[in-house]
Amino acid sequence: MAQEMIVVQHVFKSVTDSTGTLTILRDIDFSLRQGETAAIVGASGSGKSTLLSIIAGLDTPTRGTVFIDGVDLFARDEDQRAALRAQKLGFVFQSFQLLGNLTALENVMLPLELAGRRDARSAATAMLQRVGLGERLGHYPKVLSGGEQQRVALARAFVVQPAVLLADEPTGSLDFATGEKVMELMFELNREQGTTLVLVTHDRGIAQRCERRITIEAGQASEPEAAAA
Protein backbone atom coordinates (compact mmCIF):
# COMPACT_ATOMS: atom_id res chain seq x y z
CA MET A 1 0.00 0.00 0.00
CA ALA A 2 1.23 3.51 -0.83
CA GLN A 3 2.58 5.51 2.08
CA GLU A 4 0.65 8.33 3.69
CA MET A 5 1.79 11.57 2.10
CA ILE A 6 -0.52 14.04 3.88
CA VAL A 7 -1.83 13.57 7.40
CA VAL A 8 -4.10 16.32 8.76
CA GLN A 9 -4.33 15.65 12.47
CA HIS A 10 -7.14 17.20 14.55
CA VAL A 11 -6.73 20.68 13.05
CA PHE A 12 -8.64 23.61 14.53
CA LYS A 13 -8.44 27.19 13.30
CA SER A 14 -9.95 30.17 15.12
CA VAL A 15 -9.55 33.91 14.69
CA THR A 16 -10.33 36.54 17.28
CA ASP A 17 -11.23 40.17 16.77
CA SER A 18 -13.19 42.86 18.58
CA THR A 19 -16.46 40.99 17.98
CA GLY A 20 -15.23 37.75 19.54
CA THR A 21 -13.80 34.43 18.38
CA LEU A 22 -14.77 32.74 15.12
CA THR A 23 -13.96 29.06 14.65
CA ILE A 24 -13.20 28.44 10.97
CA LEU A 25 -12.09 24.80 11.16
CA ARG A 26 -13.08 22.33 13.84
CA ASP A 27 -11.21 19.04 14.37
CA ILE A 28 -10.29 18.32 10.72
CA ASP A 29 -8.75 14.86 10.57
CA PHE A 30 -7.89 12.84 7.44
CA SER A 31 -4.95 11.39 5.52
CA LEU A 32 -4.08 10.95 1.85
CA ARG A 33 -1.79 8.33 0.38
CA GLN A 34 0.90 8.90 -2.21
CA GLY A 35 -0.68 9.43 -5.63
CA GLU A 36 -4.20 9.96 -4.29
CA THR A 37 -6.42 12.78 -5.56
CA ALA A 38 -8.80 14.71 -3.30
CA ALA A 39 -11.20 17.60 -3.81
CA ILE A 40 -12.03 19.91 -0.92
CA VAL A 41 -15.51 21.29 -1.49
CA GLY A 42 -17.97 23.47 0.39
CA ALA A 43 -19.76 26.80 0.29
CA SER A 44 -17.88 30.08 -0.08
CA GLY A 45 -16.39 31.07 3.25
CA SER A 46 -16.51 27.52 4.62
CA GLY A 47 -12.74 27.39 5.24
CA LYS A 48 -11.58 25.41 2.18
CA SER A 49 -8.76 27.76 1.25
CA THR A 50 -7.78 28.15 4.91
CA LEU A 51 -7.41 24.38 5.16
CA LEU A 52 -5.31 24.31 1.97
CA SER A 53 -3.06 27.06 3.39
CA ILE A 54 -2.59 25.07 6.60
CA ILE A 55 -1.71 21.92 4.61
CA ALA A 56 0.90 24.04 2.81
CA GLY A 57 2.25 25.42 6.09
CA LEU A 58 1.43 28.95 4.93
CA ASP A 59 -1.09 29.40 7.75
CA THR A 60 -0.85 27.94 11.23
CA PRO A 61 -3.58 25.97 13.01
CA THR A 62 -4.84 27.02 16.42
CA ARG A 63 -4.57 23.37 17.45
CA GLY A 64 -3.49 20.20 15.70
CA THR A 65 -0.84 19.66 13.05
CA VAL A 66 -0.12 18.44 9.52
CA PHE A 67 2.46 15.89 8.40
CA ILE A 68 3.87 16.03 4.87
CA ASP A 69 5.70 12.82 3.93
CA GLY A 70 6.21 12.07 7.62
CA VAL A 71 7.45 15.56 8.55
CA ASP A 72 5.49 17.50 11.20
CA LEU A 73 5.09 20.93 9.59
CA PHE A 74 4.36 22.80 12.78
CA ALA A 75 7.26 21.31 14.71
CA ARG A 76 9.39 23.30 12.21
CA ASP A 77 10.00 27.03 12.15
CA GLU A 78 8.91 29.21 9.25
CA ASP A 79 12.22 28.92 7.36
CA GLN A 80 12.20 25.13 7.70
CA ARG A 81 8.60 24.99 6.44
CA ALA A 82 9.58 27.13 3.45
CA ALA A 83 12.45 24.74 2.68
CA LEU A 84 10.07 21.78 2.88
CA ARG A 85 7.60 23.52 0.52
CA ALA A 86 10.37 24.09 -2.00
CA GLN A 87 11.34 20.41 -1.81
CA LYS A 88 7.95 18.69 -1.64
CA LEU A 89 5.09 20.96 -2.74
CA GLY A 90 3.80 22.50 -5.95
CA PHE A 91 1.06 25.16 -6.17
CA VAL A 92 -1.52 26.21 -8.74
CA PHE A 93 -3.73 29.24 -8.03
CA GLN A 94 -6.86 30.72 -9.57
CA SER A 95 -4.96 33.93 -10.34
CA PHE A 96 -1.99 32.08 -11.95
CA GLN A 97 0.61 33.96 -9.83
CA LEU A 98 3.07 34.28 -12.71
CA LEU A 99 5.79 36.92 -12.54
CA GLY A 100 4.96 39.51 -15.18
CA ASN A 101 8.56 40.54 -15.82
CA LEU A 102 9.60 36.96 -16.65
CA THR A 103 8.87 35.01 -19.83
CA ALA A 104 6.97 31.72 -19.74
CA LEU A 105 10.30 29.88 -19.82
CA GLU A 106 11.80 32.01 -17.05
CA ASN A 107 8.71 31.52 -14.85
CA VAL A 108 9.05 27.74 -15.15
CA MET A 109 12.83 27.84 -14.70
CA LEU A 110 12.56 29.83 -11.47
CA PRO A 111 11.81 27.02 -8.97
CA LEU A 112 14.51 24.86 -10.59
CA GLU A 113 17.06 27.66 -10.31
CA LEU A 114 16.11 28.24 -6.67
CA ALA A 115 16.72 24.52 -6.09
CA GLY A 116 20.14 24.81 -7.71
CA ARG A 117 19.28 22.66 -10.74
CA ARG A 118 21.89 23.07 -13.47
CA ASP A 119 19.48 21.76 -16.11
CA ALA A 120 16.83 24.38 -15.36
CA ARG A 121 16.53 25.68 -18.92
CA SER A 122 16.27 22.29 -20.61
CA ALA A 123 13.90 20.85 -17.98
CA ALA A 124 11.64 23.93 -18.14
CA THR A 125 11.64 23.86 -21.94
CA ALA A 126 10.65 20.19 -21.96
CA MET A 127 7.82 20.79 -19.49
CA LEU A 128 6.43 23.73 -21.46
CA GLN A 129 6.50 21.55 -24.57
CA ARG A 130 4.65 18.89 -22.58
CA VAL A 131 1.83 21.34 -21.80
CA GLY A 132 1.63 22.49 -25.42
CA LEU A 133 3.48 25.79 -25.12
CA GLY A 134 6.70 24.98 -26.94
CA GLU A 135 6.07 27.90 -29.28
CA ARG A 136 5.44 30.38 -26.44
CA LEU A 137 8.67 30.08 -24.43
CA GLY A 138 9.71 33.71 -24.88
CA HIS A 139 6.29 35.24 -24.36
CA TYR A 140 5.46 37.28 -21.25
CA PRO A 141 2.27 36.54 -19.26
CA LYS A 142 0.50 39.71 -20.48
CA VAL A 143 0.41 38.38 -24.07
CA LEU A 144 -0.75 34.89 -23.08
CA SER A 145 -4.42 33.91 -22.79
CA GLY A 146 -5.82 32.83 -19.42
CA GLY A 147 -5.62 29.18 -20.44
CA GLU A 148 -2.02 29.59 -21.57
CA GLN A 149 -1.09 31.33 -18.32
CA GLN A 150 -2.61 28.51 -16.31
CA ARG A 151 -0.68 25.96 -18.40
CA VAL A 152 2.52 27.87 -17.62
CA ALA A 153 1.52 27.70 -13.94
CA LEU A 154 0.97 23.93 -14.27
CA ALA A 155 4.36 23.54 -15.93
CA ARG A 156 5.99 25.54 -13.13
CA ALA A 157 4.27 23.41 -10.49
CA PHE A 158 5.05 20.03 -12.04
CA VAL A 159 8.57 20.73 -13.33
CA VAL A 160 10.03 20.10 -9.86
CA GLN A 161 8.14 16.78 -9.66
CA PRO A 162 6.54 17.63 -6.30
CA ALA A 163 5.33 14.93 -3.95
CA VAL A 164 2.21 17.05 -3.30
CA LEU A 165 0.35 19.46 -5.58
CA LEU A 166 -2.08 21.94 -4.01
CA ALA A 167 -4.50 23.73 -6.34
CA ASP A 168 -6.89 26.50 -5.24
CA GLU A 169 -9.79 26.96 -7.70
CA PRO A 170 -7.45 26.27 -10.66
CA THR A 171 -10.19 26.90 -13.25
CA GLY A 172 -11.92 29.79 -11.45
CA SER A 173 -10.61 32.44 -13.87
CA LEU A 174 -11.19 30.39 -17.02
CA ASP A 175 -14.16 29.76 -19.29
CA PHE A 176 -15.69 26.27 -19.18
CA ALA A 177 -13.99 24.81 -22.28
CA THR A 178 -10.55 26.17 -21.34
CA GLY A 179 -11.00 25.00 -17.76
CA GLU A 180 -11.83 21.49 -18.97
CA LYS A 181 -8.63 21.36 -21.01
CA VAL A 182 -6.52 22.65 -18.13
CA MET A 183 -8.01 20.12 -15.70
CA GLU A 184 -7.47 17.26 -18.15
CA LEU A 185 -3.84 18.30 -18.37
CA MET A 186 -3.52 18.56 -14.60
CA PHE A 187 -4.88 15.05 -14.09
CA GLU A 188 -2.63 13.67 -16.85
CA LEU A 189 0.48 15.21 -15.28
CA ASN A 190 -0.65 14.01 -11.87
CA ARG A 191 -0.94 10.41 -13.12
CA GLU A 192 2.41 10.59 -14.90
CA GLN A 193 4.25 11.80 -11.81
CA GLY A 194 2.31 9.99 -9.08
CA THR A 195 1.73 13.24 -7.22
CA THR A 196 -0.71 13.52 -4.33
CA LEU A 197 -3.21 16.12 -5.57
CA VAL A 198 -5.40 18.25 -3.32
CA LEU A 199 -7.63 20.82 -4.99
CA VAL A 200 -10.19 23.30 -3.74
CA THR A 201 -13.06 23.68 -6.17
CA HIS A 202 -16.67 24.82 -6.52
CA ASP A 203 -16.99 22.72 -9.67
CA ARG A 204 -18.91 19.53 -8.97
CA GLY A 205 -17.64 17.91 -12.19
CA ILE A 206 -14.01 18.46 -11.22
CA ALA A 207 -14.65 17.18 -7.70
CA GLN A 208 -16.25 14.01 -9.08
CA ARG A 209 -13.05 13.22 -10.98
CA CYS A 210 -11.07 12.98 -7.74
CA GLU A 211 -10.84 9.74 -5.76
CA ARG A 212 -11.76 11.53 -2.54
CA ARG A 213 -14.24 14.35 -1.88
CA ILE A 214 -13.95 16.12 1.45
CA THR A 215 -16.76 18.54 2.25
CA ILE A 216 -16.18 21.40 4.71
CA GLU A 217 -19.40 22.54 6.35
CA ALA A 218 -19.79 24.51 9.58
CA GLY A 219 -16.05 24.12 10.10
CA GLN A 220 -16.14 20.33 10.02
CA ALA A 221 -15.09 17.80 7.38
CA SER A 222 -17.19 14.94 6.05
CA GLU A 223 -16.58 12.43 3.32
CA PRO A 224 -19.08 10.13 1.55
CA GLU A 225 -18.24 6.47 2.05
CA ALA A 226 -18.55 5.79 -1.67
CA ALA A 227 -15.88 8.34 -2.50
CA ALA A 228 -13.27 6.85 -0.20
CA ALA A 229 -12.03 4.22 -2.61
CATH for 126: 3.40.50.300
User: What pLDDT digit, counting tens, does each position of 10-42 carry?
Assistant: 999 999 988 899 999 999 999 999 999 999 999
pLDDT (mean) for 103-108: 97
Contact 132, 151 (CB under 8 A): yes
Average pLDDT, the chain: 92
pLDDT recorded at residue 17: 86
Q: In which domain, by residue range, is 186 found?
A: 4-227
User: What pLDDT digit, counting tens, does each position of 165-214 carry?
Assistant: 999 998 888 888 888 999 999 999 999 999 999 999 988 889 999 999 99
Say whether pLDDT at 125 is over 80.
yes
Q: What share of the chain in percent tops pLDDT 90? A: 79
Q: Looking at the 3D structure of the chain, how many domains does it have?
A: 1
pLDDT (mean) for 150-156: 94
As a whole number of angstroms, the distance between CA 120 and CA 111 comes to 9
Note the pTM of the prediction, 2 decimals: 0.88
